[in-house]
Amino acid sequence: MTSKKSAGILYVVATPIGNIEDISLRALRILKIADAVICEEFKQGSRLLKKLKVDNKLICLNEHNEAESVQNILIDLMQGKSYALISDCGTPVFADPGQLLISTLTEMNIKVVPIPGPSSLMAALSVCSILMDQFMFVGFLPPKSDKRLNTLNRIKGQNLPLVVMDTPYRMTRLLEDVIQVFGKNKYVCLACDLTLPKELILHGQVGDIIKRVSGQKKEFILIIDNRKTQRRN
């Protein structure tokens, strides 16, 4: 009598946020042996695998096709296939598509295995001059100015460092909003283009930092020192 085939595994694989040399040996092995690689967009996914010299099939999973793709992936995994989930860069699911897939597989008792590695958040925290034993991750702010300001005003009362993200072309606007809500003397850490040749990490008052980056477009993470304890200059 033939036994029922066991379900496959979803590997959540962290990939470089900029410098291709940051890929781990384990991540490379999983990307090669998986039955397919799940990515956000074919163009970015194909470019990444080419740089890593990985020849594998790509499956697209993003906000436009998530519901349908999750069901198709679920069926394949239940039939014994194993997939590797990646994002455009860094650690998947965190502020990226994939949460519905993880939740669905968890409910179906299908194994999900993290393959840890590069993360823009952890990279920024590791070089931040602000005490980060506790912090509040705010993530991506609303794109509309009024809602963004409302969010900043709402979290201003938190006695914790605030970690904020946004798209590169809104970096200057976000710094302007931080000045409007927190004041130009608020101490921040701005980490831009991490691991890339033009990496820039700035610490200081937001009013001074905006003078150095105004009008520029960079991948960034902003950490606001919102602790009530005053910094020693």
Question: Could you read off the pLDDT of 64-113 as tens digits, one per residue?
Answer: 888 889 999 999 999 999 999 999 889 998 777 788 999 999 999 999 99
| CATH number, domain with residue 49 | 3.40.1010.10
Query: What are the tens digits of pLDDT across the range 118-148?
Result: 999 999 999 999 999 999 999 999 999 899 9
* Cβ count within 10 A of residue 39: 26
DSSP class of residue 7 equals P
Whether residue 59 is found in the same domain as residue 112: yes
Q: Do 125 and 217 belong to one domain?
A: yes
Picking from 104, 96, 50, the residue whose alpha carbon sits closest to that of residue 77 is: 104
Looking at the structure, do residues 26 and 91 belong to the same domain, yes or no? yes
- Note whether 177 and 97 are same-domain residues: no
CB 170 within 8 A of CB 205: no
From 118, 135, 154, the end of a domain falls on 118
Indicate if 103 and 185 belong to the same structural domain: no
Bridging pattern class, strands 136-140 and 200-205: unpaired
Q: Do 126 and 113 belong to one domain?
A: no
| CATH number for the domain that contains residue 154 | 3.30.950.10
Rounded distance, CA 201 to CA 125, Å?
Answer: 11
Q: Is the same domain home to 35 and 103?
A: yes
Q: Are 9 and 74 in contact (CB under 8 A)?
A: no
Average pLDDT over residues 220-225: 98
In a domain, 83, yes or no: yes
What's the number of domains the chain is made of? 2
Domain, as residue range, for 57: 9-118
Averaged pLDDT score across all residues of the chain: 92
Residues 168 and 72 in one domain: no
Domain shared by 100 and 79, yes or no: yes
Amino acid at 46: S
SS3 category, 198:
coil
Q: Say whether both 49 and 15 belong to one domain.
A: yes
Is the CB of residue 54 less than 8 Å from the CB of residue 28?
A: yes
pLDDT band at 4 (very low <50, low <70, confident <90, very high): low
pLDDT over threshold 60, residue 200? yes
* Position 232 in a domain: no
Residue 26 CB contacts under 8 Å (≥ 6 apart), including other chains? 115
The answer to whether residue 57 scores a pLDDT higher than 60 is yes
Question: Among 111, 109, 54, which residue's Cα sits nearest to residue 86?
Answer: 54
Question: What residue type is 100 in one-letter code?
Answer: L
Q: What is the pTM of this model?
A: 0.88
Query: How many of the other CB atoms lie within 10 Å of CB of 231?
Result: 11
Residue 74 lies in a domain: yes
Specify the higher pLDDT residue, 233 or 227: 227
Under a CB-based contact definition with an 8 Å cutoff, are residues 181 and 149 in contact? yes
Same domain, residue pair 31 and 112: yes
